[in-house]
């Protein structure tokens, strides 16, 4: 039984670092993390300011697919996120990064990264 619990814990730990996550396991900067929910066709808390090195994780709570896509450039590119799927990105460059959902143009947000 103990082996099963240890194996389950390892699988659960890995779940957070595989899939749509485009970041290293231990991102540089140590800025901690923050979460944004995609819910009711909106980025809830989607316009924020974070410190350099912060990992931001988006979670799609809607039944419809959504994306997290940079308005310009390629900083954010989640691909299609189904219900309960997550996408994470660590911001290692200061600046402002506006983004949107490619499926729903009214869904927008912006991450401002301070040094």
φ and ψ at residue 51, rounded to 5 degrees: -80, 155
Calpha distance 4→107 (Å, rounded): 42
Which of 54, 81, 84, 61 shows the shortest CA–CA distance to 69?
81
* 37 alpha-carbon distance from chain centroid: 9
pLDDT for res 114: 97
- Count of structural domains within the chain: 1
Show the domain range for 28: 2-114
Band (18; pLDDT cuts 50, 70, 90): very low
pLDDT for res 39: 98
* 52 alpha-carbon distance from chain centroid: 15
Q: How many CB atoms lie within 10 A of CB 89?
A: 24
The predicted-structure confidence for 42-74, as pLDDT tens digits, reads as follows 999 999 999 999 999 999 999 999 999 999 988
pTM of whole model > 0.75? no
CATH code assigned at 100: 2.60.40.420
pLDDT for res 31: 53
């Amino acid at each position: 039984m103990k082996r099963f619990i240890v194996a389950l814990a390892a699988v659960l730990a890995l779940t957070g670092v595989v899939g749509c996550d485009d970041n290293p396991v231990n991102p540089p900067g140590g800025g901690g993390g923050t979460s944004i929910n995609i819910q009711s066709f909106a980025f809830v808390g989607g316009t924020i300011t974070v410190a350099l090195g912060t990992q931001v994780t988006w979670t799609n709570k809607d039944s419809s697919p959504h994306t997290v896509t940079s308005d310009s450039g390629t900083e954010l590119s989640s691909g299609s996120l189904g219900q309960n799927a997550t996408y994470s990105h660590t911001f290692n460059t200061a600046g402002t990064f506006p983004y949107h959902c490619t499926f729903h143009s009214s869904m927008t947000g912006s991450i401002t990264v301070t040094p």
